[in-house]
Structure 1
């Protein structure tokens, strides 16, 4: 399975963001990937502290999703991207990842569970958390678990996704810059790959606010593709044989004692 991770920064101008997203999808599609992964909140950037993204939110049949579905059909590539989705709580939408198949069909939506109430920011003032349940979608014969940005700091979610069958963890993010934040990002991505013996695919926003450093990590914690700081994309191949080999050599999932139902 070939995956392209796109790195770019969004603004609160949704029309401009859709144009940017489409440009990068078209560029990445030149590599004929099975899946193109875009960052968290690529439909519209977060509001400043004390602001609101409520008026920017859309339903899953709105213009942003429709544009992604059209691009997926044209390029015959699945797409995963982040948006703000209208919720039943007025003015407090969900921070949602949507997965669109190569036919344009909506395969699933993950609503961010762990809102970023840390490092001086309070995402829960603007957004509504999703239900506490893992979301796994199947693309090109592989099972992908969806998680968003701050979720990376909660290993129980990644383990729940792997227990639900995920072979790949997909982590779109808008990882805020700051002292040691880039180190945290890279360390936690590698840790989630190593402890779960799975691939991790991370597409991040960049620019003045966010760290960038989008990458794909294999089940041994080795970065096999990366973007750096600038706008761009990187392509990597997810190898089922590599995954099986690592899990044979390091059967830590089979050897665990906690969280395993006794028989």
Structure 2
């Protein structure tokens, strides 16, 4: 399976962000990718009024992504914001394409490092997986990467690939943490981990104020045994990686952590 990783910088205008999605997806389809992964908050960058851009899964922004995926015959995973309750939104990953139409609401909210996502975002409650070319893919969003149980739950539902879409917060040691956590979650679940983050706005010459997590780049692809297969830098990029999902079988024979796990 060829997977495209679209490390981009989202702005405040969903229409402009959708134009970026279309351009990158067309390039990925031309390269024969079965799946393209975009960051968390692709629809609108954090630090903006999310309640002003929120829309349902059948709204115009999501429908634009859906129509593009069907036209090009590619599965798109992309971060957006959907309606919640009590004035909050949901931090949603939309996954659409041939025979795929599902979504995942971020379970673990980023109430850390001086930022409180839960003030404006309502958490999800369940893991979500879906098939691409006969391979099951699980979903996770940003702060979720610090919680192994979600990745193991996806694996137990058949996932051979876990996709993590992020808008990782900058700060001392955060790049190292991102890389370490991606490798750890691959080993925990013996799955490929495709971790796609927002590019660092500074790498595009953009100034960002406040504490909102707007991305650091360094998207990565990790093997089921923790090997780094791809690692990007800070700036925007589109890269492709070919994944043989059957490698998870070999990994699980050598490292049967899912079979050996005990409940306490």
Q: Secondary structure at the match of 1:128?
A: coil
| Equivalent position of 1:101 in the other structure | 97
Give the CA deviation at 1:195: 1.8
Give the deviation of 1:111 after TM superposition.
0.5
Match of 2:78 in 1: 81
- Determine the structure 1 residue equivalent to 2:190: 197
- The residue correspondences of 1:21-36 to structure 2 (distance < 5 A) are 21-36=21-36
Instruction: Specify the alignment match of 1:129 in structure 2.
Output: 123
User: Structure 1 residue 255: deviation in Å?
Assistant: 2.1
State how far apart, in whole Å, the 2-side matches of 1:71 and 1:204 are.
Answer: 21
Q: Could you tell me how far apart the structure 2 residues matched to 1:204 and 1:137 are? A: 21
Aligned partners of 1:75 and 1:102 also within 8 Å: no
C-alpha separation in 1, matches of 2:252 and 2:179: 22
Q: Deviations 1:100-133 (Å, cap 9, x if unpaired)?
A: 0236x52x110011111000001111111112x2
Contact 2:10 2:45 in 1 (8 A): yes
Distance 2:233 2:71 in 1: 28
Q: Specify the alignment match of 2:181 in structure 1.
A: 188
Aligned residues: 252
Q: Is the 2:127–2:153 contact (alpha carbons within 8 Å) kept by the matching residues of 1?
A: yes
Mark the runs of 5 or more structure 2 residues left unpaired by the alignment.
203-213
> Separation in 1 of the partners of 2:219 and 2:249?
25
CA distance in 2, matches of 1:93, 1:252: 36
Give the gaps of 5 or more residues in structure 1: none
Name the structure 1 match of 2:258: 253
164, 167, 172: which one aligns with 1:171 = 164
The answer on whether the counterparts of 1:227 and 1:233 sit within 8 Å (CA) in structure 2 is no
d(CA) in 2 for partners of 1:30 and 1:214?
Answer: 21
Give the TM-score normalised by structure 2: 0.91
Distance 2:47 2:171 in 1: 18
Question: 2:151 touches 2:188 (CA, 8 Å); kept in 1?
Answer: no
Give the conservation status (yes or no) of the 8 Å contact 2:85–2:122: no
Deviates more, 1:238-247 or 1:53-62: 238-247
Determine whether 1:66 maps to 2:63.
yes
Match of 2:56, SS?
A: coil
CA distance in 2, matches of 1:13, 1:21: 13
- The Cα shift of 1:179 comes to 0.4
4+ residue runs of structure 1 moved beyond 6 angstroms? none
**1:205-247 CA-partner distances (Å, limit 9, x unpaired):** 0123411011211111112123322211121122133111111
User: Is contact 2:148-2:188 (8 Å) kept?
Assistant: no
Q: TM-score, normalised by structure 1?
A: 0.91
